[in-house]
Structure 1
Amino acid sequence: MTTLATTSTAATRRGAAGPARRRDLLGAEWIKLWSLRSTPVVLGVLLVSYLYLAYHAAQLAHDSYPTWPAFAKLDPDPAHDAFDFPKFLLLMATAGTIGAMTVAGEHASGLIRTTLIAVPARGRVMLAKVTVVSVVLAVLGLLIGVGCWGITLAVVSDRITGFSFTTPGIWRVITGTTVVVPVCGLIGMAVATLIRNTAGTVFAVLAFFLVGPLAVKAPLPLLSANQRADLGNTLPAYAWGRLTIMSHGRLVEHVSSIPAAWTSLTLWALVSVAITVTVLRHRDV
């Protein structure tokens, strides 16, 4: 009886410690991320900046509306101004850099060694980091998506009518923005996991998010125009850009379908998580 009771008590303790350890891992990663002064500052600046950019673009559209040609007035797309593609490339690059620094920064400082001494299960540590970064960036994306659309409506609604938060397609736009920000962060984490050098990681992330979308539109050797378009549509930037199109007048040749855009973002996220969680298991730190 004593042996059974002791075994039962030990098993109970192990079962109770499991969920607590997961919470501890998430809490530790949250502290690592949020204790850096740069984290709330950068996130706050991004939020305020993109809300202002949406306000400025909406104000320009509002002031120029009387001069629009008739066909443009028949099929307006306020989301095109609220979620301007070139401006949001910088948001994606910044999100990618934030994600990258959560990994590269720990390798540079040596904190990753201390963490793995405390918790040798490397996969669980990285999965907790992925979870925290994804949630924080998703909240940022949601605030930017809702805020940009809300500000746009407030500015243009007296001239450009028929749009609201119930407009068909707008929640696809907001959800796409909510999703693409953490996806970019996950890509940054995967790049940092592979490179493990701060300068090289930042360069690679910025090149991917800022140069990549432009490079695939340039005449590339051995690739036809259709192949370049297909390659571009696989990038997170163009997948997000497709999700933010609400006007038929904005659709051009070689634009991917909405399901293909969602699939692209999903695959980028899954592959990035797989790299971040598994590669560290086979490397020294």
Structure 2
Amino acid sequence: MSTPQTPMPQAAPPAWEAAAGSPYPGYTSPIPVVRTHLGHALASEWTKIKSVRSTMWTLGVFVLLVLGIGLLTGLVIANSSSDLSGDENPLSLGFFGLLLGSICLITLGVLTTASEYGTGMIRTTMTACPSRGRVLAAKALVFFLVAFTITLVSTAVVAFLQMALLEGSGARQPTGAEWFKGTVGVSLYMALLGLLSLLVGSVLRHSAGGITIMIGVVLAPLVIALFMFTQSLEKVRQALFEYSIPNQLSVFYSNSLSRSGPSGWDPLWIILGATVVAAAGALALLQKRDV
């Protein structure tokens, strides 16, 4: 006589099995799904820019150039027998350091985008954030804020130190408007120049090429104009002088290299327009090309 078989208990369903009605009936990830947004891209780009050595070196050299050349110029003027002209803006002594320091911001701007293509890191970036426009916007915003902050602090410090050195030398005190243009205004211009370099790096995807082109944009018009001696090229020569970046930079100190051309806040609108055009081109190419 056979004994009745006891039914085996049913095994509990695995913990990973999805509930009935789930769009993915085979598997449910234990990792919560979070919709990414611009804040995540900003955090990522901030981590990148503060982690690479190029940021420390380029910004470190920039600060040394602005402070070192600015203070050296102030010391020479303070110890010389000739005083500054009564109409001359004493803050203009910071122009020479900023002009050389612009090369550092140009270099960092190009490297912020182009170096990722050289190392292949851009593939990881685009995989983590498929929205290419968001990636470019995050890079641009982080770089602009860093460049503006560093430039503003450097120009403000060197301006106060120069005024302390020139005290009693006959130099006049700058007005409030001159202080604003010589610190905030010129910092906005320099940050936009660096941002333009970042966009050029995104278009070219080549660090050396982008840096070379941007240094040429800064220096070539002024150098070419210096060697135009013929009368027939006088108008071209004048235009190169007026719209060269060194001359536009000097406008913020009310010390233009020419009697005509950009004045007031015109240089800021010029560089802003060029940056907007470059941003549109960089975004269009980024959406179209493979990474």
Deviations 1:123-167 (A, max 9, x none): 111011000111100111101221121111110012235415x54
Aligned runs of 1:33-48 on 2, under 5 Å? Answer: 33-48=49-64
Q: 2:120 aligns with which of 110, 134, 140?
A: 110
- Residue 210 (structure 2) pairs with residue 204 (structure 1): no
Letter in 1 for 2:247: Y
Q: 2:263 aligns with which of 251, 257, 264?
A: 257
Unaligned runs of 5+ in 2: 1-32
Q: Which has the larger radius of gyration?
A: 2
Alpha-carbon spacing, 1:154–1:132, altered in 2? closer, same or farther (3 Å): same
Alpha-carbon spacing, 1:31–1:227, altered in 2? closer, same or farther (3 Å): same
RMSD of aligned residue pairs (Cα, Å): 2.6
Q: 1:60 aligns with which of 76, 89, 107?
A: 76
Report deviation, 1:212: 3.6
Q: 1:274 aligns with which of 273, 280, 287?
A: 280
Q: How far apart, CA to CA, are the structure 2 residues paired with 1:47 and 1:280?
A: 32
Q: Do the aligned partners of 1:82 and 1:148 also contact (CA within 8 Å) in 2?
A: yes
Match of 1:160? 170
Alpha-carbon spacing, 1:217–1:183, altered in 2? closer, same or farther (3 Å): farther
Alpha-carbon spacing, 1:269–1:235, altered in 2? closer, same or farther (3 Å): farther
Q: Could you tell me the percent identity over the aligned residues?
A: 23
Q: Do the aligned partners of 1:183 and 1:268 also contact (CA within 8 Å) in 2?
A: no
- The size of the alignment, in residue pairs, is 259
Return the structure number with greater relative CO, CA threshold 8 A, min gap 6: 1
Match of 2:89? 77
Q: How far apart, CA to CA, are the structure 2 residues paired with 1:35 and 1:186?
A: 19
Alpha-carbon spacing, 1:237–1:276, altered in 2? closer, same or farther (3 Å): farther
Alpha-carbon spacing, 1:47–1:233, altered in 2? closer, same or farther (3 Å): same
Report deviation, 1:172: 1.1
Q: How far apart, CA to CA, are the structure 2 residues paired with 1:147 and 1:83?
A: 14
- Residue 235 (structure 2) pairs with residue 226 (structure 1): yes
**Greater fraction of residues in helix:** 1
